[in-house]
């Protein structure tokens, strides 16, 4: 059974950094794209970043461009989200998710498998 598990969340001061990890199991990881989403209290879940498996292309929402970096280590079945220059508005529960394929979908509903989420709090 396909499973995703996030780790690395926590409390950080504004301007600080965190690295989230998404560990995958139960499927041939290297053939699937992986996306990161976040949901802040009272807001809808939004896409943050995605990395394809077919060509390694990466995608970012405008709010995190230049600050966040997504990467994958297929040998470890893990995708990372390096988050730098964190802001209070980055506070949210962060989820990793997988679609049924190698490319990053444009719609959230095309991600079928989800982790449980990791809390990231940016506060002084």
Mean pLDDT by runs of 10 across the 124 residues of the chain is 94 98 90 96 96 92 98 95 98 96 93 96 97
Q: Pick from 52, 48, 35, 9: which is nearest to 114 by CA?
A: 35
What DSSP character marks residue 85? S
Q: Pick from 29, 34, 30, 39: which is nearest to 9 by CA?
A: 39
Q: Pick from 31, 39, 30, 79: which is nearest to 59 by CA?
A: 79
pLDDT of residue 115: 97
Q: Pick from 18, 10, 13: which is nearest to 80 by CA?
A: 18
């Amino acid at each position: 059974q396909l499973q995703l598990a996030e780790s690395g969340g926590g409390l950080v001061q504004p301007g600080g950094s965190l690295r989230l990890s998404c560990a995958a199991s139960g499927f041939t990881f290297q053939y699937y794209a992986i996306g990161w989403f976040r949901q802040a209290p009272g807001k809808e879940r939004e896409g943050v970043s995605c990395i394809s498996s077919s060509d390694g292309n990466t995608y970012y929402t405008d709010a995190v461009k230049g600050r966040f970096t997504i990467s994958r280590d297929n040998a470890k079945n893990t995708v990372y989200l390096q988050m730098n220059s964190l802001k209070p508005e980055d506070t949210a529960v962060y989820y990793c998710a997988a679609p049924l394929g190698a490319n990053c979908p444009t719609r959230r509903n095309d991600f079928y498998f989800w982790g449980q989420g990791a809390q990231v709090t940016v506060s002084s």
